[in-house]
Amino acid sequence: MTQRLNYSQQSPEIFKKLVDLSMAVKQSSIDAGLLHLIDIRVSQLNGCAFCLDMHVKEAKIHGERELRLHHLAIWRESPLFDARERAAFAWAEVLTRIPAEGVSDEAFAELRTYFSDKEIADLTFAVMTINAWNRAGVAFRAPPGSADKLYGLDKANLS
């Protein structure tokens, strides 16, 4: 697959703003480990090869267990995730694939069982942000692994 265009070079000001948003999300109330898993799950749903590759490597570098990475695609059936993580994954999925009828009160109530209002807002921004990156990655076909050295992802030893 050939990259269609380098969107960071074509729109550097907007790209920088999205990077800034990503950095703000990393400083939010949501645990870094959960953010990695959310980024991976949303990237799986959206079919973004670049982001999926990047976030699996980030999670591995930051100590995520390999089996949990493999089980993320089957999180509903896997015993490896706790109730809080499951609620976050369900929220990420419903926001990524917004149903025609919108987000249900039940989905929101389930999330509220495990997260504060601040955490819900931060988690929502995290999902919005990875969805934005995924759309750019899919639209412009960013090659997986092409920024590994730049982001230090070669340390994951997953080549």
- Model confidence pLDDT, tens digit, residues 105-130: 999 999 999 999 999 999 999 999 99
Model pLDDT, residue 107: 95
- Residue 147's pLDDT band, with cuts at 50, 70 and 90, is confident
Q: pLDDT band at 143, cuts 50/70/90?
A: confident
Q: Is residue 148 over pLDDT 80? A: no
pLDDT-wise least confident of 41-50, 74-83, 141-150: 141-150
Averaged pLDDT score across all residues of the chain:
95
**Cβ atoms within 10 Å, residue 90:** 15
- Give the side-chain half-sphere CA count within 13 A for 68: 17
Burial of 13 (0-12, 13-18, 19+ CB in 10 A): exposed
**Domain 31-141 CATH (choose: 3.90.76.10, 3.40.50.1980, 1.20.1290.10, 3.40.50.800):** 1.20.1290.10
- The answer to whether residue 159 scores a pLDDT higher than 70 is no
Question: Model confidence over 66-107: pLDDT tens digits?
Answer: 999 999 999 999 999 999 999 999 999 999 999 999 999 999
Question: Burial level of 141, CB count in 10 A (0-12/13-18/19+)?
Answer: middle
| Residue 146: per-residue pLDDT | 82
For residue 151, name the pLDDT band (cuts at 50, 70, 90).
confident
Domain residue limits, the chain: 31-141
